[in-house]
Amino acid sequence: MQCYFLDGNLGQRKTLVGIWNQFWSLGITMVAGTLYTYPENWRAFKALIAAQYNGAQVRVLSAPPHFHFGQTKGTPEFLHKFPAGKFPAFEGDDGFCVFESNAIAYYVSNEELRGSTPEAAAQVVVQWVSFADSDIVPPASTWVFPTLGIMHHNKQATENAKEEVRGILGLLDTHLKMRTFLVGEHVTLADITVVCTLLWLYKQPQFRAVLGEVRLCEKMAQFDAKKFAESQPKKTPHRKRRVLGKRSRSPRLRGKRRRLLPCS
């Protein structure tokens, strides 16, 4: 059994990324395995969403008898595979083991999700994933955890967290003003990670009371020529202006003019 851990030194991380890049360059994309996590873990959602895009076969163990919250992570069998004792954790059908949600999401992704060029990969894997962990998670946790009863409420800390979140949302608004996705022209791990990180801020009863259940786009909308035509402003017909000083080419009109001229 091979187990790789992303919390080692930089050299080990580079070696691991190199192995993964070689793995994907061979076109081997059918990942299959088991994801250990507790229910409704937004960190695990990153890997599950990435697996949906890549077609990876991921089984989730989040309930007894295979998973017991607060107990499974301390068992000798689990610690043998995942010494950090953290969730989520992924065990491939081939025996490959990896923990940390970003690492798992990376592993079950494909080249499109990870960034097909070095520049895109740097923005996807390093820039936005790091931004989500370092800039979004701390203030979001400070703001939301007290409402869930898992952290003492501190008014000043909460107000500071709100200001930080407003700044983050403003940054995202500015970045997405002329873009559909955070990086490139399709969904990447950048979008998946940032959306999952923001989930706590929006998954609140007050939001749901107003917005209701958010319906996801199931298929691409088809162009409707009729609706498009109806949405366009109607053109006002231009009236022909009579040009003074020029004789009409129509003999009939010239005759009418003669009859209307005053007699001398």
**pLDDT tens-digit readout, 72-89:** 888 999 999 999 999 999
Task: For Cα atoms 161, 167, 169, give the angle at the middle one, nearest 5 degrees.
Answer: 100
Q: How far is CA 25 from the centre of its chain?
A: 24
What is the reported pLDDT for 8?
A: 39
- Ranges 7-16, 68-77, 88-97, 199-208: which has the least confidence: 7-16
**At residue 214, does pLDDT exceed 80?**
no
Over the range 170-193, which residues count as b (16 or more CB within 10 Å of their CB) and which as e?
A: eeeeeeeeeeeebbbeebbbbbbb
What is the reported pLDDT for 1?
A: 38
Judge residue 161's burial from the number of C-beta atoms within 10 Å of its C-beta, 0-12 exposed, 13-18 middle, 19 or more buried.
buried
Mean pLDDT of the chain: 80
- For the stretch 170-183, pLDDT in tens is 999 999 999 999 99
- For the stretch 43-78, pLDDT in tens is 999 999 999 999 999 999 998 888 888 888 889 999
What is the reported pLDDT for 252?
A: 55
- For the stretch 91-141, pLDDT in tens is 999 999 999 999 999 999 999 999 988 888 898 878 999 999 999 999 999
Q: Distance between CA 85 and CA 78 in Å, rounded?
A: 7
What is the reported pLDDT for 236?
A: 63
Q: How far is CA 75 from the centre of its chain?
A: 35
Judge residue 206's burial from the number of C-beta atoms within 10 Å of its C-beta, 0-12 exposed, 13-18 middle, 19 or more buried.
exposed
Q: Distance between CA 7 and CA 250 in Å, rounded?
A: 92
Alpha helices (runs of H) in the chain, residue ranges in sequence order: 10-25, 42-54, 76-81, 101-107, 111-114, 118-121, 129-131, 137-148, 155-176, 189-202, 205-211, 225-231, 251-260
What is the reported pLDDT for 191?
A: 94
Return the higher-pLDDT residue of 162 and 257: 162
Q: How far is CA 44 from the centre of its chain?
A: 14
What is the reported pLDDT for 13?
A: 40
Q: How many CB atoms lie within 10 A of CB 4?
A: 17
What is the reported pLDDT for 42?
A: 92
